[in-house]
Copies of this chain bind each other. A is one copy, B any other.
Amino acid sequence: MDPGRYQYFEELFHPQSIAIVGASEQSALFILPLLEANFPGKLYLVNPNRDNFHGLKCYRSVLDIDDSIDYVISAVPARLSVDLMDQCVKKGVKTVHYFTSGFSETGNPEDVKLEEELVRTARAGRVRIIGPNCMGLYVPESRVTYFYDFPLESGPVALVSQSGAFAVGIVMLGRARDIRFSKVVSFGNAADLDAADFIEYLAEDPKTGLITAYLEGVKDGRKLFGILKKANLRKPVVVLKGGRTVEGARAASSHTGSLSGSSNIWGAVFKQLGIVTVGTVEELTDTMLAFTRVPKPRGRRILIVSFSGGSSVIQSDICVELGLEVPVISEESRRKIHEIVPPAGTSTKNPLDIPSAYFSVDGISKSVNIAASEDDVDVVLFELLDRLPIFFKRRNALDDYNVLVKNLVDSAKYVRDTLGKPFLVALPPSFYEEEGRKLKNLFQTEGFPVFPSVDRAAKAISNTLNYYDFIDKEKSKKF
């Protein structure tokens, strides 16, 4: 990437001064969080119709501010957007983010023209645009945010999203699941800066370890594909493509004025580039978790541990159907396990299904340690149940339960830290919300990824394995 271009994006994501233009009670929802986030630079408000807004002075125009402005957030009506751009050009603003909507996404010719005029004005004045019709930036390390409860600590995930509310959903889902972000950009109609621009920068951004994108359409496919190819070889890129069907494309068109293009072409290109594609919001967050909380496994051979015989059968099917392998545990290890737990009602070939664990505080953890040590095992997937404590509560054995759970966490750490193999937890939400939350927190606090079902965990880990396989193949081509 051209150093000047890189420098532009570095400054974009770390603005020293921001002016918010046209703040009102409606846009307050997305502006107040920024006002309250202790942005360490200078923050100015502009609104000729008000003296102040939520206690802050309002300037009449950006030109009245006696300071340089890096970044302008526009909440003015669409008809005032070009005037604002004129002022920003004069002021030497680097980037304007148009929260403002009512441009090409309406499909009305005059609105399309207005967007074109806005871009022309900006380009002539060397100002870049984010949007219009979008939420803009969330950069925790710069304390730039647009939603009240966005965490202000950073993480390795970048998200480039054509939809702002979609990005809110992902960040808040991530908050509940210990996924944190380096940079999030909602870029709406992409009249100027587009997904490819942001991804090109994020590929070089040392704070970003994983690039994820929600895309509806692109104007310049060749540019995007070239950048995706390079980026994906440096760090994983995960794409959720909206508008895969005619009906989805129709929705995308009225959402961000996007032309979604043929889903066949997108699919073929993504496959060729080794890009991981996902189909739902849930799969996207699961895959974020798998890429950032699960170290690269040596291979696809999974040890499944379950508290239910039926589940263990279904889990085997699901894992194999997703391209994972379920190796048989060796006779020697099984003999060792049977010295610890009685054989009746127990399966030890893999999956491990050890109901007697309900009555032993260390039967299952010791069995897991033995089975996970097998050379043939690359990954461990442990299905926990939120009803587990009930068995102990009802026989007044909560002390035993606490020891059992401590042993399980120790076993998970042994697998991850001593054996060096990923340990994933699946914990399906059922009736015991409080118990489930406690169990989840216990493992999440120790850095283990927790998934709401076995199939979602298996799909996520399978997505990362497909990426690692692609990269290994690409690397081997070079030699």
Contact = CB atoms under 8 A, between A and B. Distances in A.
Nearest to A284: B314
Contacts of A437: 433
Nearest to A103: B344
A395 B31 CA distance: 12
B320 A246 contact: yes
B320 A248 contact: yes
A394 B318 contact: no
Interface in A99-153: 101-102, 105-106, 133, 148-149
Interface stretch (A166-174, A196-204, A227-235): A166-174
B307 A351 contact: no
Contacts of A265: none
Contacts of A281: 311, 314, 428, 453
Contact of A247 (B282, B326, B395, B429): B326
A81 interface: no
B328 A245 contact: no
Contacts of A173: 428, 430-431
Contact of A344 (B106, B314, B325): B106
B429 A345 contact: no
Given A106-B343, A431-B175, A455 B314 contact: no
Interface string A415-438: 000000000000011111100010
A216 B345 contact: no
Contacts of A348: 254
Contact of A319 (B247, B355, B390): B247
Contact of A26 (B133, B244, B279, B359): B359
Interface stretch (A10-18, A61-69, A88-96, A157-165): A157-165
A351 B251 contact: yes
Interface in A47-106: 78, 101-102, 105-106
8 contacts: A169-B387, A173-B428, A240-B314, A242-B310, A247-B319, A248-B314, A250-B328, A279-B455
A317 B245 contact: yes
Given A173-B430, A245-B317, A163 B310 contact: yes
Contact of A347 (B214, B255, B318, B345): B255
A268 interface: no
Interface of A: 25-26, 28-29, 32, 78, 101-102, 105-106, 133, 148-149, 161-169, 172-173, 175-176, 214, 216, 240, 242-248, 250-252, 254-256, 279-282, 307-314, 316-321, 325-326, 328, 343-345, 347-349, 351, 353, 355, 358-359, 385, 387, 390-391, 394-395, 428-433, 437, 452-455
How many identical chains are in the complex? 2
Contacts of A168: 308, 387
A52 B175 CA distance: 53
B166 A310 contact: yes
B248 A29 contact: no
B310 A161 contact: yes
A323 B390 CA distance: 41
10 pairs of A and B residues whose beta carbons are closest in the complex: A163-B310, A166-B310, A165-B308, A242-B313, A248-B317, A255-B309, A245-B320, A248-B316, A247-B326, A102-B344
Nearest to A255: B309
Contacts of A358: 29
A311 B348 CA distance: 43
A169 B308 CA distance: 9
Contacts of A307: 165
Given A169-B387, A251-B347, A282-B453, 17 more contacts: A29-B358, A148-B390, A149-B431, A165-B309, A176-B429, A176-B430, A242-B310, A244-B321, A246-B320, A247-B317, A248-B320, A251-B351, A252-B313, A254-B347, A255-B309, A256-B309, A433-B437
